[in-house]
Amino acid sequence: LQYNQAYYIFGRAIANRFCTKAQTYQQPDASFNKELSILLTNIRKELVTLLPQLQEISNYLFDERGKQIRPMLVYLMAKACNYHTDPENKSTLTNSQSAIGVISEMIHTASLIHDDVIDAAHIRRGKPTINSIWGQRKAILTGDYILSRATIALSKLRNERVVKVLSQVLDDLVQGEFMQLGSKEDRGERFNHYIKKTFRKTASLMACSCQAVAILSDPLNQFLHDIAFNFGMHFGISFQLIDDLLDFIASDDIMGKPTSTDLQLGLATAPVLYASDQFPELDSMIVRRFTHSGDVQRAREIVDQSDGMNQTKRLAYFHRDEAIRFISQLGESIERNALIQLSDDIVTRQK
């Protein structure tokens, strides 16, 4: 079973165990899979252009290979909110909510394309990057194209609030990238800087997409919007923490992209930052961004010896628990329980 299918059936099994009411919905598995398969079709519709090369490049990363966490998140959050707002109705997804899934996946992919140019990456999701095939210039312009079409789709929802919420993400993404360029000398500030950067680069999109579907579900219920946002934020942070952890653990064939990439890019993530508490020799390596020969290797060794990875895991668990704490305040539904299960899955995953 594919990752996302297995996860969904799992979630339902958990829900059945803990549910006290009979849930009389349509088969959620079937409708969920259907949603995912039409997501890609919908994205393609937004990207249609008469220019063949642009068409080819824009469609390139929209294939089955992504983890599609974000669309899953949006889909489940929307349904959980809809149920919370109106338990009597089948919590069907509105077209606008469905569009949020499309839009956030497009924003995410556009930012990946630019990231690959900035990092001079050659592999993404197991195939060559756009910049390595078509050059940096076209990669940048295609990223801009995808982003602009996402904004067009967003504006067509005719909801000024939702437009504001998702536009903020673009700002956060760029700020996060700038934050990654700079660094804080002071050890005390370093970790906060890292978490803030993590929020901007990863969690912001998730938090804002969740908030957007909550707004669409019930425009006046601020409580709902806050829950959705906070869930997305903690979910996103724990997601990224595990991502940073896996960069140290996983080997090349599982992940689809070469590992120790963070170190090679000069980035000090949670495991390294924690390890530097025990092993101050990491400090100078962090400051010089692991540029001396042997730095990457030595840093890896130190992290392995230290408690850094465990501490990272514990922090991820903390954010998972926070996410669950928030989402549990919604009325109980299959989708809400699935989100709880997903939060846990995120921190126990292997890739």
Partner 1 sequence: GLVNNKYNESKAKYSLIVLLMAKAAAGKNQMKGEREVDGIYPSQRSLAEITEIIHMAQMIHTGVVNLAEPITSEDDKELQLGNKMAVLIGDFLLAKASTGLAKLDNTQVVQLMSEAISELMEGEFLHSTVHDVIKVECKDYVNLWKQRTFLRKGSLLSKSCQSVLKLVNHDQELQMIANNFGRYLAYTQQLSLELKALQLDDTGSQVNNTSLTAFLALQNCKDTSALLTSNTEFYKHQKETLDEVKDIYETFKWKLLDYLKHFQDGDAKSALEKIVMTNVNEVEMFDLQAMK
Residues that bind partner 1 (CB under 8 A): 49, 51, 53-54, 114, 117-118, 120, 122, 131-132, 135-138, 140-142, 144-145, 147-149, 151-152, 154-160, 163-164, 167-168, 170-171, 173-174, 177-178, 181
Least Cβ distance, residue 263 to partner 1 (angstroms): 17
Residue 64: how many other CB atoms lie within 10 Å: 10
Alpha carbon distance 301, 303 (integer Å): 5
Q: How far is the CB of 197 from partner 1 (least distance, A)?
A: 14
23 or 151: CB nearest partner 1: 151
Bridge-partner residues for 96, per DSSP? none
Task: List Cα–Cα distances, 175 to 123, 169, 181, in angstroms.
Answer: 24, 10, 10
CB closer to partner 1, 91 vs 131? 131
Rounded to an integer, what is the distance from CA 350 to the centroid of its chain?
16
Please state the closest distance from residue 175 (CB atom) to partner 1, in A: 8
Nearest residue (CB) to partner 1, 155 versus 305: 155
Q: Which is closer to partner 1, CB of 155 or CB of 350?
A: 155
Dihedral over alpha carbons 227, 160, 168, 97 (to 10 degrees): 50
Single-letter amino acid code for the residue at 19? C
Task: Supply the minimum distance, in Å, between the C-beta of residue 129 and partner 1.
Answer: 9
| In the complex, minimum distance from the CB of residue 61 to partner 1, in angstroms, rounded to a whole number | 16
By beta-carbon proximity to partner 1, the closer residue of 104 and 142 is 142
Nearer to partner 1 among residue 6 and residue 152 (C-beta): 152
Using the minimum distance from each CB to partner 1, give the nearer residue, 69 or 147.
147
At 205, list the tokens: 């999109």
Question: What is the nearest approach in angstroms of partner 1 to the Cβ of residue 38?
Answer: 23
125-127-133 Cα angle (round to 5): 130
Q: Write the DSSP assignment of 308-337 as a string of letters.
A: HHHHHHHHHHHHHHHHHHHHTTSPP-HHHH
- Determine the Cα–Cα distance for residues 118 and 112; give it in Å rounded to an integer: 10
By C-beta, is 139 or 309 nearer to partner 1? 139
Task: Characterize the bridge pairing of strands 127-128 and 123-124.
Answer: antiparallel
To partner 1, the closest distance from the beta carbon of 141 in angstroms equals 5
Distances (CA, A) of 134 to 57, 58, 122: 8, 12, 12
CB of 219 to partner 1, least distance (A): 15
Residue 71 to residue 68: CA distance in whole angstroms: 6
Q: Exposed, middle or buried: residue 212 (CB in 10 Å: 0-12, 13-18, 19+)? A: buried
Shorter beta-carbon distance to partner 1: residue 159 or 329: 159
* Cβ at position 286, least distance to partner 1 in Å: 21
Q: Is 192 exposed, middle or buried (0-12, 13-18, 19+ CB in 10 A)?
A: exposed
